[in-house]
């Protein structure tokens, strides 16, 4: 029996991962009809007020054709420098194809190229997050790919499955959809074993599930089922549900909404709670922000911390670092990720938010700690 968790019901922010094999033919030509149908699905989601971010592969597949680095003897593996050259060329065409397809449905796009540092390093994470958040606020659909042209072997995601899950985590998406060439996970390879059973719902990534991923064929692009399971692990930790669905036919998202079969990985707890747990538990606070009674009350009622309520700032910390918030009696009232480094925080302490630009010379956030980055102690 399917429940709200195993559908798009209640979705507010979706990451959609589209693999190379779906976007491009074997010879690297883009499947424009398919893409146009997907653009319609995306426009439908946007029309329902759902934020959509697309993690799109295909730069290398498209670029190797353009550069004459054809697949040759079936699937010749490119050297790193060749894939980077192919990505550099293919990404332009890929982004253009998305732009054309979505513009046809009145949807604006933006291109974001990320490396692992952008999602792992706190400051860069915060920056990437702010840009993406602003794009979403402006109704734009970001088209995201790994920045293949600069990523070295050691710092590459290498597959967009995990990149999609990282984006979902970073942006607190509630749903991550991985379009694949198979409708999910099976107990064995369905192409070889008639007894292979489809798994409709996974609540935890156990060794059994990992073993099934090993068995299940189905591989679009570089990931295969293994990286999809890794992606699911990241998504679940972030409180985001993730579905692996068959994207080969047109309108895969619409078909999912109409009940098409998929494997749903279902998290425990709401995304917000999971993230807040992460802030509350997993971090080593590196500074202390003292606030007045008014700010303490505002925090208790779920509001953000504005600079105006700050009486003192202790410690050396950078933007995005975890800090403790203490009330007038010096007792801890909250923890959170601070939007300004310690020096700037000291400069704007006690000031109204509209004075920030004058004091710092740039226009930062209104909040010292946004309520999404704040958890009561």
Of 57, 175, 180, 263, the one binding ligand GLU by CB under 6 A: 57
Stretch that binds ligand GLU, among 141-149, 307-315, 317-325, 346-354 (CB under 6 A): 141-149
Of 41, 51, 118, 159, the one binding ligand GLU by CB under 6 A: 159
Report how far residue 301's alpha carbon sits from residue 293's, in angstroms, rounded to the nearest whole number. Answer: 13
Minimum Å gap between C-beta 55 and ligand GLU is 9
Of 15, 52, 53, 60, the one binding ligand GLU by CB under 6 A: 60
Minimum Å gap between C-beta 87 and ligand GLU is 6
The reply to whether 373 sits near ligand GLU by the rule CB under 6 A is no
Residue among 61 and 291 whose Cβ is closer to ligand GLU: 61
Of 146, 230, 246, 321, the one binding ligand GLU by CB under 6 A: 146
Minimum Å gap between C-beta 281 and ligand GLU is 31
- Tally of residues, the chain: 377
Minimum Å gap between C-beta 279 and ligand GLU is 30
Size of the site for ligand GLU (CB under 6 A): 16
Stretch that binds ligand GLU, among 33-41, 108-116, 145-153, 240-248 (CB under 6 A): 145-153
Of 89, 222, 263, 304, the one binding ligand GLU by CB under 6 A: 222
Of 190, 218, 223, 271, the one binding ligand GLU by CB under 6 A: 223
Stretch that binds ligand GLU, among 51-59, 289-297, 309-317, 325-333 (CB under 6 A): 51-59
Taking CB atoms, the residue at the shortest distance from ligand GLU is 221
* Full 3-state SS string of the chain: CCCHHHCCCCCCEEEEEECHHHHECCCCCECHHHHHHHHHHHHHHHHCCCEEEEEECCHHHHHHHHCCCCCCCCCCCCCHHHHHHHHHHHHHHHHHHHHHHHHCCCCCEEEEEECHHHHHCHHHHHHHHHHHHHHHHCCCEEEEEECCCCCCHHHCCCCHHHHHHHHHHHCCCCEEEEEECCCCEECCCCCCCCCCCEECEECCCCHHHHHHHHHCCCCCCCCHHHHHHHHHHHHHHCCCEEEEEECCCCCHHHHHHCCCCEEEECCCCCHHHHHHHHHHHCCCCCEEEEECHHHHHHHHCCCCECHHHEEEEEECCCCCCEEEEECCCCCEEEEEECCCCHHHHHHHCCCCHHHHHHHHCCCCCCCCECHHHEEEC
Stretch that binds ligand GLU, among 116-124, 166-174, 220-228, 331-339 (CB under 6 A): 220-228
Phi-psi map region of 303: left, alpha, beta (phi>0 left; psi -120 to 50 alpha): beta
Residue among 167 and 356 whose Cβ is closer to ligand GLU: 167
Stretch that binds ligand GLU, among 56-64, 131-139, 300-308, 335-343 (CB under 6 A): 56-64
Q: Which residues bind ligand GLU (CB under 6 A)?
A: 19-20, 57-61, 87, 145-146, 148, 159-160, 221-223
């Amino acid at each position: 029996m399917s429940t709200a968790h195993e559908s798009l019901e209640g979705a507010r922010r979706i990451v959609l991962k589209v693999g190379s094999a779906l976007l491009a033919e074997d010879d690297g030509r883009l499947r424009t009809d398919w893409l146009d149908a997907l653009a319609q699905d995306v426009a439908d989601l946007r029309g329902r007020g759902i934020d959509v971010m697309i993690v799109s592969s295909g730069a290398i597949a498209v670029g190797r054709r353009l550069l004459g680095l054809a697949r040759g003897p079936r699937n010749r593996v490119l050297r790193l420098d060749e894939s980077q050259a192919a990505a550099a060329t293919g990404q332009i065409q890929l982004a253009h194809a998305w732009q054309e397809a979505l513009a046809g449905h009145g949807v604006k796009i933006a291109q974001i190229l990320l490396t692992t540092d952008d999602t792992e390093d706190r400051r860069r994470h915060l920056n990437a997050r702010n840009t993406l958040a602003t794009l979403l606020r402006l109704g734009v659909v970001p088209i995201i790919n790994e920045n293949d042209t600069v990523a070295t072997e050691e710092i590459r995601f290498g597959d967009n499955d995990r990149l999609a899950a990282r984006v979902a985590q970073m942006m607190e998406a509630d749903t991550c959809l991985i379009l694949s060439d198979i409708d999910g996970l099976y107990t064995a390879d369905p192409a070889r074993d008639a007894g292979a059973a489809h798994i409709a719902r996974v609540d935890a990534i156990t060794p059994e599930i990992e073993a099934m991923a090993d068995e299940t064929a189905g591989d679009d692009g570089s990931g295969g089922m293994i990286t999809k399971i890794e992606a699911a692990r990241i998504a679940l930790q972030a409180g985001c549900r993730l579905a692996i669905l068959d994207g080969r036919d047109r309108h895969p998202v619409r078909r999912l909404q109409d009940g098409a079969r998929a494997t749903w990985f279902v998290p425990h707890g709401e995304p917000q709670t999971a993230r807040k747990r992460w802030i509350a538990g997993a971090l080593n606070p590196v500074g202390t922000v003292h606030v007045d009674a008014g700010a303490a009350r505002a925090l208790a009622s779920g509001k953000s911390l504005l600079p105006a309520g700050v009486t003192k700032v202790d410690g050396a910390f950078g933007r995005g670092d975890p800090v403790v918030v203490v009330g007038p009696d010096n007792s801890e009232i909250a923890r959170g990720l601070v939007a300004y480094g310690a020096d700037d925080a000291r400069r704007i302490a006690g000031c109204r938010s509209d004075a920030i630009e004058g004091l710092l010379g740039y226009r930062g956030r209104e909040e010292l700690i946004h309520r999404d980055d704040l958890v009561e102690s």
